[in-house]
A and B are shown apart, each in its own frame.
Chain A
Amino acid sequence: MAAGVAAWLPFARAAAIGWMPVATAPMPVPPKDKRRGHEGLIVLNVSGTKFQTWRDTLERYPDTLLGSSERDFFFHEESNEYFFDRDPDIFRHILNFYRTGKLHYPRQECISAYDEELAFFGIIPEIIGDCCYEDYKDRRRENQERIQDDEETDATNELVPPDMSFRETMWRAFENPHTSTMALVFYYVTGFFIAVSVLANVVETVPCGTAPNRAKVVSCGERYALAFFCLDTACVMIFTVEYLLRLLAAPSRYKFVKSVMSIIDVVAIMPYYIGLVMTDNEDVSGAFVTLRVFRVFRIFKFSRHSAGLRILGYTLKSCASELGFLLFSLTMAIIIFATVMFYAEKGSSASKFTSIPAAFWYTIVTMTTLGYGDMVPKTIMGKIFGSICSLSGVLVIALPVPVIVSNFSRIYHQSQRAEKRRAQKASKEAGQALVCKTNPNFEMHHHHLLHCLEKTTNHEFVDEKTYEASCREVTLVKQVSCSSSISSSPHGLTSCCSRRKRKTFNVPNSNMSVGLQGSIQELSTIQIRERPLTNSRSSRSSLNAKFEETVPLNCDQPYMTAAIISMPTPPGTTPEGDESTSSTDYSQANIVRVSAL
């Protein structure tokens, strides 16, 4: 698009004639056109394959090898062409970048070879077009991971840095059991005891035959009460020790206590201690029995040992809204059908549908196609509605499962892709900021065009800050506003272009972005020469003087060279507050531009 937009500049400038009769002020002088080298074809010989293109095409990107004078190093006098001893297949893409402004990444090329060619020709990979950028980054990441894996396998036998504190070693051992043998042993021991404890809870309730002095069958738990008690004590002791050790080793104790796993740990061992504290009182034993239910939560401790459980938990959490909606719609359906069934069955005698809540049970059992048969409709209307209920139940059950599955898959892939894109976007923008993709000549003319528009409308472009500042000032007293807005206008002069630069930066596909700072000096000189020096604008006139003396050097060279780096020091010596800020803009602009080159 850069090529295209630059090609339409003559049109845009010609169309500006439409503003001329409307303007009341004289127009600024157009910049002198720098006639670059004669237009002509350039022959690029890349390892025998000849490419030809216009000189102007290459010079669109003056900060790359082909666009700058660096290519002269490769000029071959005998054949009057530029010879590069590089890969012609990849060069095709590089040359297409100059032609179309978009860099593509060919999938069949090796990523490292491609990177090398880009580096040789001075092209930053961040400007790869959106169509190929994701692919490029993925390949690059894979490659780097491969390199890292190679490095890691070399370094597996390296010892852990000995300067880690005991606490850190312990935490590391807890979190990653494969780091040392002790950790692994601990991991398996705790796993074993969790399993034993859960098994004991289950077996406790199995009927174990008759006790010697009782008639009825008792459960194993009551028969071998002491044995089970000892087992339970042992397990709880292990769990308590484990919990305390984890608490000790945790880098952030507060965060550890808040985490889900620690809550599960606490809930798993609390019933035992509460049981110890409480006596064999009849009143509280009922509550105590209920509390023993919580011992089953020990099974959740397995989630530390199994990644799959953790993923499942995360899935449910992330699909919570879908599940919630599902539950809500189910509830609606249940209430509707229960009501209908209740009123339908009201007539029949000895009907089990005693109330609407009682009919809930029937509805749920029917809709989930369980059909226990403990409640059945007897009237004809009841049977009709009952069949409608079961048919709709099939639908209701068949719908949510794929929805949840597809949701899970979508969320999972989306989060992966979104994270990838977010990470890529940051580096992409950082890279784009470094790239100077603009033609300075184009910038010069574009600036003049915008200046003509300013003259036609008698208003200036300013950046948002100055605009807001002037908005606020309008509400103040006229006198105060007048002087303050004037003193802030030098800001507007110098920073309007930097703001414009930022604005154009965000416009998609428009490559009139970074290089605008180079023309700041020109714009300011043009404006300052034409703005009449009124007596109230004293600060501006002194700024004029400063700029006049420093600017002429820049006039002939809108391109930044080393000479200009030393330039900003004179404005820096001004005592006035706003000028020092404008000069920092100035020097900053210089610095940025030089690095782009």
Chain B
Amino acid sequence: MDGKRVETISARVDAAVSSPDSVEDELELSAVRHRPEGLEQLEAQTRFSRKELQILYRGFKNECPSGVVNEETFKDIYSQFFPQGDASTYAHFLFNAFDTDHNGSVSFEDFVMGLSILLRGTVQEKLNWAFNLYDINKDGYITKEEMLDIMKAIYDMMGKCTYPVLKEETPRQHVEVFFQKMDKNKDGVVTIDEFIDCCQNDENIMRSMHLFENVL
């Protein structure tokens, strides 16, 4: 019996030695194994129908059998949609936006709540969400530095091979344009009210908010 125990221990040690990351991940995630709330509760909290929740969960569970997504996996998944560029920075900001309770992992509830706002929410809610995404330190103001970070992350997703060629100051210029449009009182920051006001007056943005409603 001792022999068997030693064998299993050594096997585990071997596994740990050969692939430290996966074993660590496994330990981490198995401790955090998560089961979502019941279907009825989620139905009540989000604007998805039962069937839609089922489809979403099946896809989610397939990718993340443990029930939660950590930032690395999140970045991996998102990067697969943008093969030409580097989507990891934007994915990082997205992760923070989805991870509303800031516990370092996105559970199915977080995921589905976020999607509910983005796909089925009112324009106000969507703009709120976007503001939350841009406001990196969540202090209620978007500063130029925060916006520059976001802009660089978006441009990073384009990658190197673009037409016309991406220049260093393109994100900065874009940020200037954005601030000129959004910052009404020219105090260098954009508040939530300025943001929502400005977006509601912009036809393009309004139209694009309804773009992805047929996603599910």
Contact = CB atoms under 8 A, between A and B. Distances in A.
A27 B159 CA distance: 20
Contacts of A25: 204
Contact of A11 (B62, B111, B164, B204): B111
A474 interface: yes
B83 A20 contact: no
B44 interface: no
B166 interface: yes
Contact of A18 (B130, B164, B195): B130
Contact of B155 (A449, A457, A462): A457
Given A24-B177, A453-B82, A459 B212 contact: no
Contact of B162 (A11, A462, A504): A462
Interface string A323-363: 00000000000000000000000000000000000000000
Given A20-B205, A21-B205, A474-B165, A7 B83 contact: no
Tell me which of B90, B161, B178 has the highest count of chain A C-beta atoms within 10 A of its own C-beta: B161
Contacts of A401: none
A17 B80 contact: no
Contact of B166 (A13, A16, A459): A459
A16 B133 CA distance: 11
Nearest to B111: A11
Given A10-B56, A21-B130, A449-B81, A467 B162 contact: yes
Interface residues of B, number: 58
Tell me which of A4, A18, A470, A510 has the highest count of chain B C-beta atoms within 10 A of its own C-beta: A18
- A interface bracket (residues with beta carbon within 8 Å of B): 35 or more
A27 B208 CA distance: 6
A22 interface: yes
Given A446-B81, A512-B80, A4 B163 contact: no
B129 to A, nearest CB: 7
Contacts of A27: 204, 207-208, 211
B68 interface: no
Interface string B75-97: 00110111110000010011001
B215 interface: yes
Given A10-B215, A14-B215, A467-B161, A507 B83 contact: yes
Interface in A551-576: none
B22 to A, nearest CB: 14
Contacts, number: 161
B204 A492 contact: no
A135 interface: no
A24 B177 CA distance: 9
A23 to B, nearest CB: 7
A499 B155 CA distance: 19
23 contacts: A5-B81, A8-B81, A9-B81, A10-B119, A12-B81, A15-B78, A18-B90, A18-B94, A18-B133, A18-B134, A20-B130, A20-B209, A21-B178, A26-B208, A27-B208, A30-B214, A33-B214, A453-B82, A457-B158, A457-B162, A461-B84, A462-B163, A470-B163
Rank and list the top 9 A-B pairs by shortest CB-CB distance, nearest first.
A7-B59, A14-B118, A467-B161, A459-B162, A4-B63, A20-B208, A462-B163, A27-B208, A10-B215
Given A453-B158, A459-B166, A461-B162, 11 more contacts: A5-B80, A8-B63, A10-B115, A14-B114, A21-B134, A21-B205, A27-B207, A454-B158, A485-B163, A503-B83, A510-B83
Interface of A: 1, 3-27, 30, 33, 446, 449-450, 452-454, 456-457, 459-464, 466-467, 470-471, 474, 485, 489, 492, 499-500, 503-504, 507, 510, 512
